[in-house]
């Protein structure tokens, strides 16, 4: 039924071992033999049996990329860059020694995250890239650290991209962490410099590193400016979604109608915030300023163009891909912090005098 290595060997009048050698290209083979084998492969339309070769070699060419939300370009950009770096730019359809780079959508669920890791472990994946913020629940952290240690132990390269180093797991090849705290601080400093004092904050889901770090940066800037009031009144948490920005903004306005600026957990949330403000008849930035985070492609096209913090998602993803392939030396200590740059645009302006 299905053609095997032995069939190819018979047709090429060589031994199975030789066929294996030309296919893997790791041993010297006479040019004439190699050609004969390749021809037989073509004529028979032979496709290597992945499971069999993985079993025999005790490794596979699978590389998993985990994302929290595949419908969010934040993850799509990183994953795409990593995948390109791993699978190679072009493809002939032949499929030589390529890796199979593959993205897995956890939906932000810790259970699914662990399940995917187990599934990848089961496949003896060559590498795993974890993108985006992590959940800070102690149980989950412990479970993740244990799982990653086991993966690393089995020879799987583990790379973190846009995620802070996991406490208690030195099993990781490299962690590329975004400077969310610094970015958050600079963004709020920008607002403070414009003269804002009453700033609402639409935060991401609690217990996520990304959420916490951005919020900490925000509050650090406020504290440095001598704004010491309790911020919990003007902070609302919610998922990283447009809808959340919309609802939270209405809530913030209800709590404090005198806010002169709103900082959102990310650009998507900021867009929802803008919609809510418009629906309330408020003009941006004349009546109220808005800022986001990430600088996703659509942010520059928003009206008004969104002030935000740029994260080099593409570069980070590509670098993670290279690290996963072993094509780049890990940073010193295995940890690199990736800068976050303020992009001041039209959605922020000085508050109204009055």
Partner DNA sequence: CTGTTAGCGCGTTCAC
Partner DNA sequence: GTGAACGCGCTAACAG
Other C-beta atoms closer than 10 Å to the C-beta of 228 total 8
Can you tell me which of 297, 315, 327, 339 binds a second copy, judged by CB under 8 A?
A: 297
């496709």: which residue's tokens? 47
Q: Is 6 in the site for a second copy (CB under 8 A)?
A: no
Alpha carbons 143 and 141: distance in angstroms, whole number: 5
334 in contact with DNA (CB under 7 A): no
Round to whole Å and give the CA distance between 297 and 320. Answer: 21
Would you give the distance in Å from CA 265 to the centre of its chain? 16
Regarding 94 and contact with a second copy (CB under 8 A), the answer is yes
Pattern 243-282, binding to a second copy, x per CB under 8 A?
Answer: -------------------------x--xx-xx--x----
Query: Of the candidates 6, 17, 71, 193, which one interacts with a second copy according to CB under 8 A?
Result: 71
Q: Residue 256: how many CB atoms within 10 A of its CB?
A: 12
**Per-residue contact string for residues 47-66; x = within reach of DNA by CB under 7 A:** -xx--xx-xxxx--------
CB of 12 to DNA, least distance (A): 8
Going residue by residue from 125 to 144, which x/- string records binding to a second copy, judged by CB under 8 A?
------------------x-
The answer to whether the beta carbons of residues 181 and 103 sit under 8 Å apart is: no
Q: Does 28 bind DNA (CB under 7 A)?
A: yes
Alpha-carbon gap, residue 321 to 133, rounded angstroms: 18
- Does residue 119 touch DNA according to CB under 7 A? no
Name the segment binding a second copy (CB under 8 A); options: 104-112, 126-134, 165-173, 346-354: 104-112
| The residue to which tokens 């303020």 are assigned | 342
In Å, what is the CA distance from 262 to each residue of 31, 129, 280? 68, 33, 14
Residues touching DNA: how many (CB under 7 A)?
A: 31
State in angstroms the smallest separation of the CB of 115 from DNA.
Answer: 17
Nearer to a second copy, 84 or 231 (CB): 84
What is the phi/psi pair of residue 64, to 5°? -100, 140
Residue 123 beta carbon to DNA: minimum distance, rounded to whole angstroms: 12
Q: What are phi and psi of 188, to 5 degrees?
A: -75, -30
Q: What is the DSSP letter of 310?
A: E
User: Binder to a second copy among 38, 48, 145, 227 (CB under 8 A)?
Assistant: 48
Rounded CA-CA distance 186/84 in Å is 32
H or E segment to which residue 174 belongs: strand 174-178
Q: Does 47 bind a second copy (CB under 8 A)?
A: yes
- Residues in region 219-248 near a second copy by CB under 8 A: 242
Site residues for DNA per CB under 7 A = 2, 4-6, 13-21, 23-24, 26-30, 32-34, 48-49, 52-53, 55-58
């Amino acid at each position: 039924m299905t053609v095997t290595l032995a069939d190819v060997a018979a047709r090429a009048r060589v031994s199975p071992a030789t066929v294996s050698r030309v296919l893997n290209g790791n041993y010297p083979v006479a040019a004439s033999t190699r050609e004969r084998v390749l021809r037989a492969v073509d004529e028979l339309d032979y496709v290597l049996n992945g499971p069999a070769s993985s079993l025999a070699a005790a490794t596979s060419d699978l590389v998993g990329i985990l994302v929290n939300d595949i419908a969010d370009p934040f993850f799509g950009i990183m994953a795409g860059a990593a995948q390109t770096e791993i699978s190679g730019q072009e493809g002939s359809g032949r499929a030589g020694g390529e890796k199979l780079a593959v993205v897995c959508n956890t939906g932000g669920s810790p259970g699914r995250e662990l399940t995917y890791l187990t599934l990848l472990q089961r496949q003896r994946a060559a590498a795993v890239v974890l993108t985006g913020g992590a959940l800070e629940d102690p149980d989950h952290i412990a479970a993740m650290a244990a799982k990653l240690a086991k993966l690393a132990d089995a020879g799987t390269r583990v790379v973190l991209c846009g995620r802070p180093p996991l406490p208690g797991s030195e099993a990781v090849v490299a962690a590329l962490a975004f400077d969310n705290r610094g970015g958050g601080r600079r963004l709020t400093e920008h607002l403070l410099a414009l003269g804002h004092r009453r700033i609402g904050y639409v935060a991401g889901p609690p217990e996520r590193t990304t959420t916490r770090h951005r919020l900490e940066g925000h509050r650090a800037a406020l504290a440095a400016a001598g704004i010491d009031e309790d911020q919990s009144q003007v902070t609302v948490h919610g998922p990283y979604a447009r809808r959340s920005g919309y609802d939270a903004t209405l809530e913030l306005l209800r709590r404090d109608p005198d806010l002169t600026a709103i900082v959102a957990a990310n650009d998507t949330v900021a867009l929802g915030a803008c919609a809510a403000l418009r629906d309330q008849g408020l003009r941006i930035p004349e009546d109220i300023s808005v800022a986001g985070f990430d600088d996703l492609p659509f942010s520059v096209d928003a009206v008004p163009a969104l002030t935000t913090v740029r994260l080099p998602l593409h570069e980070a993803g590509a670098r993670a891909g290279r690290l996963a392939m072993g094509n780049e030396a890990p940073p010193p200590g295995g940890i690199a912090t990736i800068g976050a740059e303020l992009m001041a645009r039209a959605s922020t302006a000085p508050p109204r005098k009055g």
